[in-house]
RNA sequence: GGGGUUGUAGUUAAGUUGGUGAUAACGCCGGCCUGUCACGCCGGAGGCCGCGGGUUCGAGUCCCGUCAACCCCGCCA
């Protein structure tokens, strides 16, 4: 029977200076090389790997146990650290090895479904099914550690700035607007439901009314929407709210937090944090979360091409809200094949554009579809986008939203395939002054772009109810890094009158507003301090810090794109009795 | 809800215009091996070719449907 000993060192610790020390190590067998008379075992824990040697100097029992060991068995080794006959410069512990005098099996394993190795490329569903094995891989261990360091730094920084971490309810009530809610039936109140929070928005505002002054929380949020590479149904925010704060103060704190995290986790100085208005971002990049690590900026050619004889463009511009924009890929004329251009056309089509127009700028003339433009138009465009021979011009015309969506996706794609994106660089920017409302064609009403508690810019408050809602800008701000929105926030409405007018603009009458948000409206009537806040998408921040494009790499137990946990089997069925107790019947057939 | 990619041994992959026995590497099992670090050598076991239909004398291969994972659009205040 093996007796569990206390380890003296981790598997990452042994160095030449430990030579001669008696040690006890515990860990997983990472490699097993049985040469007959000598067995080498690499023992791994999350701190590193140390080579264990078992040969004629070891007692028979140890030699037997070492020979019987297999990959991923859990072993307890006692022995002496000695310098290696042949050091391995590729291992941090490679100067030494442990000459074992005791080799004990703590736990064996079933045959492994895949190799525990960073270059293992087993299918993701297999790895998610056996997440406990996948997480043993050093790369994922490292990601969890990075996540921990980032969260710890956030707590320490925010504490140093006078913030208090306050927990808000997970069982709360459904609110209209926003994402689909995850619902939890009430046992005690038949027919009533809790909702899991999409964010602690209302509670943190009420905490401001309650005098918390500076609140933060590392908090799970839940949204029942379809998933993406950077989206999970439950995700974590670093959520914060400040009383007596204007946007400058919130942005200052957010920059301070970002700087602290990047410095502490990566040793990198974050910043600068330039600012772009939403309008500027759309006009230069076609999206509100631009990757500013590279150029390929968009140019608006709508005015320039008014009245063009080029039928496709003229047709697009005649439509209400039709625009024409283009960007230049320097030096790409010669190296971009027709096939590539066809694939780029397909890409913009997925964003609703009819197609992509292009021209290769060669000495003195253009080739490609846009060569049919008039001479004057060509030279005006060339001047506008600063085209020089050898460049490739990519142009789209159509409804503004589609042109922006298509060309911003294309800008990113072209930058990737042409390797224009610098590695290991973080490019931050603030996007400010978002439109407060957008018209939802489906619902035939205005909806909040941010959320309904976002303050309009003070000078735009009078426009509420004027029929000019589309002109209202909000006092909101997003922090963007490398094309990812990593934080978003706003100054909030603290005047119940203004809040009521916003609800009215959103088509919620007094009764509906009171029913859905009455508790916030009521709180605002009892001495609400001016306040504002911001929430960081923590998982996305950690993705950036870890250098991964996949949110599942930074979450210990993530879900698939169909919101299943392949390890636990969630979601699962429940007993009829359990449903009955909750006053719920199952409408799903089969 | 829509589009795309993928699915063959425990794992990763090969498998040609449909044509004899479904192949390799790693892992697993057995044997040998005293300085390996991707140890090496010899031998062995292991298959619902995702699932269901169809075409065909014959399907891993062609067609239809379906399921799952991933990526994208819609959606995500």
Instruction: Tell whether the model's pLDDT for residue A590 goes beyond 50.
Output: no
Residue nearest to nucleotide B71 (CA to C1'): A229
Mean pLDDT in residue range A385-403: 93
What pLDDT was estimated at residue A468? Answer: 86
Q: Are A225 and A562 in contact (CB under 8 A)?
A: no
Q: Strand, coil or helix: what is A262?
A: helix
Mean pLDDT in residue range A550-569: 94
* Beta bridge partners of residue A327, listed in sequence order: A394
Q: Are A536 and A487 in contact (CB under 8 A)?
A: yes
Mean pLDDT in residue range A375-394: 91
Distance CA A421, CA A184 (A): 44
Instruction: Measure A114 CA to B55 C1' (Å).
Output: 38
pLDDT of A301-349, one tens digit each? 999 988 888 888 999 998 888 999 999 999 998 888 888 898 899 899 9
Identify nearest nucleotide to residue A549 by CA to C1′ distance.
Answer: B71
Average the pLDDT over each of A50-59, A477-486, A507-516 and give the range with the smallest value. Answer: A507-516
pTM of the model: 0.94
Distance CA A51, CA A30 (A): 10
Most confident of A127-131, A153-157, A512-516: A153-157
CA distance from start to end of chain A? 51
Cα–Cα nearest to A392, from A382, A401, A384, A402: A382
Identify nearest nucleotide to residue A94 by CA to C1′ distance.
Answer: B37
Distance CA A527, CA A522 (A): 10
Average the pLDDT over each of A87-96, A153-162, A368-377, A392-401 and give the range with the smallest value. Answer: A368-377
Instruction: Measure A120 CA to B20 C1' (Å).
Output: 37
Distance CA A464, CA A470 (A): 10
What pLDDT was estimated at residue A506? Answer: 85
* Percent of chain A topping pLDDT 70: 99
Q: Are A344 and A353 in contact (CB under 8 A)?
A: no
Distance CA A397, CA A311 (A): 11
Provide the token pair at A142: 């490292």
| DSSP annotation string for A109-137 | -PPPSS--STT----HHHHHHTHHHHTTS
Instruction: Tell whether the model's pLDDT for residue A493 goes beyond 90.
Output: yes
Instruction: Tell whether the model's pLDDT for residue A589 goes beyond 60.
Output: no
Instruction: Tell whether the model's pLDDT for residue A503 goes beyond 80.
Output: yes
Identify nearest nucleotide to residue A90 by CA to C1′ distance.
Answer: B37
Distance CA A362, CA A339 (A): 19
Within 7 Å of a protein beta carbon, the nucleotides of strand B are 1-2, 10-13, 26-29, 32-40, 68-77
Dihedral sign, Cα of residue A247, residue A252, residue A254, residue A255: positive
Mean pLDDT of chain A: 93
The confidence band for A441, taking pLDDT boundaries of 50, 70 and 90, is confident
Instruction: Measure A31 CA to B21 C1' (Å).
Output: 37
Instruction: Measure A582 CA to B46 C1' (Å).
Output: 49
Higher pLDDT, residue A320 or A104? A104
Mean pLDDT in residue range A135-163: 96
pLDDT of A343-366, one tens digit each? 899 899 989 898 899 999 987 788
Instruction: Tell whether the model's pLDDT for residue A269 goes beyond 90.
Output: yes
Instruction: Tell whether the model's pLDDT for residue A97 goes beyond 50.
Output: yes
Average the pLDDT over each of A282-291, A402-411, A578-587 and give the range with the smallest value. Answer: A578-587
The confidence band for A1, taking pLDDT boundaries of 50, 70 and 90, is low
Identify nearest nucleotide to residue A453 by CA to C1′ distance.
Answer: B77
Average the pLDDT over each of A218-227, A241-250, A303-312 and give the range with the smallest value. Answer: A303-312
Instruction: Measure A21 CA to B6 C1' (Å).
Output: 52
Average the pLDDT over each of A6-15, A90-99, A375-384 and give the range with the smallest value. Answer: A375-384
ipTM of the complex: 0.92
Identify nearest nucleotide to residue A35 by CA to C1′ distance.
Answer: B33
Q: Are A166 and A207 in contact (CB under 8 A)?
A: yes
Q: Strand, coil or helix: what is A205?
A: helix
Instruction: Measure A110 CA to B47 C1' (Å).
Output: 20
Instruction: Measure A337 CA to B5 C1' (Å).
Output: 23
Q: Are A428 and A273 in contact (CB under 8 A)?
A: yes
Provide the token pair at A191: 């027919």
Distance CA A91, CA A452 (A): 55
| DSSP annotation string for A45-97 | ETTEEEEEEESTTS-HHHHHHHHH--TT-EEEEEEEEEE-SS--TTSTTTTEE
Provide the token pair at A306: 């008014």
b (16+ CB within 10 A) / e for A441-460: eeeeebbbbbbbbbbbbeeb
What pLDDT was estimated at residue A202? Answer: 93
Mean pLDDT in residue range A53-62: 95
Count the alpha carbons within 13 Å of A296 in the hemisphere toward its beta carbon. Answer: 27
Distance CA A304, CA A538 (A): 43
To the nearest 10°, report the CA torsion of A196, A201, A205, A210: 30
Instruction: Measure A561 CA to B6 C1' (Å).
Output: 15
Identify nearest nucleotide to residue A57 by CA to C1′ distance.
Answer: B34
Residue nearest to nucleotide B69 (CA to C1'): A125
> What φ, ψ does residue A209 adopt, rounded to 5°?
-60, -30
pLDDT of A561-573, one tens digit each? 999 999 999 998 8
How does DSSP classify residue A470? G
Average the pLDDT over each of A175-179, A309-313, A337-341, A426-430 and give the range with the smallest value. Answer: A175-179
Give the contacts of A469 (CB within 8 A, at least 6 positions apart).
A436, A437, A446, A463, A505
Cα–Cα nearest to A261, from A46, A550, A479: A479
């Amino acid at each position: 029977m093996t007796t569990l000993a206390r380890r003296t060192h981790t598997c990452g610790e042994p160095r030449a200076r430990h030579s001669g020390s008696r040690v006890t190590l515990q860990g997983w067998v990472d490699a097993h090389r049985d040469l007959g008379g000598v067995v080498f075992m690499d023992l791994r824990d999350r701190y590193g790997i140390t080579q264990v040697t078992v040969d004629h100097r070891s007692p028979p029992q140890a030699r037997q146990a070492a020979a019987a060991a297999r990959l991923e068995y859990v072993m307890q080794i006692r022995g002496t650290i000695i310098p290696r006959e042949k050091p391995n410069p590729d291992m941090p512990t490679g100067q030494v090895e442990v000459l074992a005098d005791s080799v004990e099996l703590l736990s064996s394993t079933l045959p492994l479904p895949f190799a525990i190795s960073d270059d293992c490329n087993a299918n993701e569903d297999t790895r998610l099914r056996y997440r406990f094995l996948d997480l043993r891989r050093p790369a994922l261990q490292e990601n969890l550690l990075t996540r921990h360091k980032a969260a710890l730094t956030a707590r320490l920084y925010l504490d140093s700035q006078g913030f208090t971490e306050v927990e808000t309810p997970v069982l709360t009530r459904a609110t209209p607007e926003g994402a689909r809610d995850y619902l939890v039936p009430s046992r005690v109140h038949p027919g009533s439901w809790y909702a899991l929070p999409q964010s602690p928005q209302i509670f943190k505002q009420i905490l401001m009314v309650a005098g918390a002054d500076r609140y933060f929380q590392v908090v799970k949020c839940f949204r029942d929407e379809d998933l993406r590479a950077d989206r999970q149904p439950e995700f974590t925010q670093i959520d914060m709210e400040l009383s007596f704060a204007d946007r400058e103060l919130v942005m200052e704190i957010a920059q301070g937090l970002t700087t602290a995290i990047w410095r502490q986790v990566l040793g990198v100085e974050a910043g600068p944090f330039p600012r772009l208005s939403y309008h500027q971002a759309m006009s230069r990049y076609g999206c509100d979360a631009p990757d500013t690590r590279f150029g390929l900026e968009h140019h608006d050619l709508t005015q320039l091409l008014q009245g063009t004889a080029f039928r496709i463009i003229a047709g697009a511009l005649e439509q209400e809200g039709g625009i024409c924009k283009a960007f230049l890929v320097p030096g790409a004329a010669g190296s971009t094949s027709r096939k590539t251009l066809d694939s780029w056309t397909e890409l913009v089509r997925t964003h609703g554009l009819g197609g992509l127009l292009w021209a290769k700028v060669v000495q003195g003339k253009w080739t490609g579809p846009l060569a049919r433009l008039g001479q004057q138009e060509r030279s005006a465009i060339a001047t506008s986008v600063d085209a020089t021979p050898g460049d490739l011009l990519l142009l789209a015309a159509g409804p503004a939203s589609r042109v922006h969506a298509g060309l911003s996706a294309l800008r990113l794609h072209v930058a990737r395939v042409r390797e224009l994106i610098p590695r290991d660089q973080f490019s931050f920017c603030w996007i400010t002054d978002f439109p407060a409302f957008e018209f939802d064609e489906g619902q035939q009403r205005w909806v909040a772009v941010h959320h309904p508690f976002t303050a309009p810019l003070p000078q735009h408050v009078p426009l509420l109810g004027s029929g000019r809602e589309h002109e209202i800008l909000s006092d909101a701000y997003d922090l963007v890094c490398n094309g990812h929105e990593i934080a978003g926030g706003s100054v909030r409405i603290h005047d119940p009158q203004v809040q009521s007018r916003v609800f009215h603009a959103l088509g919620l009458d007094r009764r509906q507003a009171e029913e859905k948000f009455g508790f916030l409206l009521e709180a605002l009537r009892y001495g609400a301090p001016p306040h504002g806040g911001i929430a960081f998408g923590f998982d996305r921040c950690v993705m950036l810090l870890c250098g991964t494009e996949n949110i599942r790499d930074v979450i210990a137990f993530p879900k698939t794109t169909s919101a299943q946990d392949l390890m636990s089997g969630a979601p699962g069925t429940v007993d009829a009795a359990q449903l009955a107790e909750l006053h719920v019947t199952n409408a799903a057939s089969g």
